[in-house]
Structure 1
Amino acid sequence: MIRPEVRAALARWQEVLAGVAVVALGLYWALFTGGGLLHWIGWLVCLAGGAWIVAGVQRARFHQGNGGPGVVQVVERRVSYFGPLNGGIVDLEAMSSLVLDPSGKPPHWVLRAPGQQPLHIPLTAKGADQLFDAFASLPGIQTEHMLRHMEGTSPGPVVIWRTQGAQNPAIRLH
């Protein structure tokens, strides 16, 4: 009944829409219930809905689509990628850097960890949306910086995050 592209857009922005509904409920309670405890709870619900909207907008901006090669899984702070040509596993605690490489087709993340080959994950791989929460948990990462570079057209690889002790590694083609 709903066209596939409309269904995909609604799915992408579903957290924002839910946040808007929560804010509307909070405003109703805060403005039209006549005061009392429900009035103050309504304002708290508005704040929670606003936070949900902000998080939803960030997740929607992170989403780059589906249909890319491979499958991503994030389980207990371990990122796994299984692709048609390569794959691997990287623990978030062991990561030394996160690089966005827009020069690939499709653009991809490069996860580096000492003693391991870099793990290249396409932004459009199935399950790549799970990476937002995984990357957001990295200490000191700036999510707005990451989202801005995902939307931009940088000609080459961009270091999104690096551990405090990591040196500037040479970025190689292969």
Structure 2
Amino acid sequence: MTNHIALFEPLMPANTGNIARTCAGTDTVLHLIRPLGFSLDDKHLKRAGLDYWDQVKIVVHDDLSAFLEQVPDLKHLYLITKFSDRIYSEVDYSDPEQDYYFLFGKETTGLPEKFMRQYQEQCLRIPMTGHIRALNLANTCALVIYEAVRQQHFAGLELTHLYPQDKLH
């Protein structure tokens, strides 16, 4: 089982860098769907991802169609949007034989409405008040991917971490 985060036309390098760091920490593949609002050499992107870039598998796609062609089973592609009545934590992500793909829209406009309507059954939302338009993209990715790895019993992740001095004993 592999988890995947896909960012549709991300605009902000700091968000993408933070998401890359979350991907490194959860062994999640990061997909970037062009056009990007920054260069992959951007200093803000690199700073936000710290020194974890070599720990992240990044796949860049020319457009949404190219990304969809790479998803082996579209039934396990989930669109994260506020335009859904289905909550992200109500889905079962625990099948060890299955890859899970979580697609997030760009910071300013989200995912294309026509596309979301086409895949309405796979749209999921994070509950929030009506006081804001959306949560921060990096925070949203972290919430969703950690729900998936929680259901997967944190497979492959460290469940405990010792203080450096405790490793000596």
Normalising by structure 2, we get a TM-score of 0.24
Higher helix share: 1
Higher strand share: 1
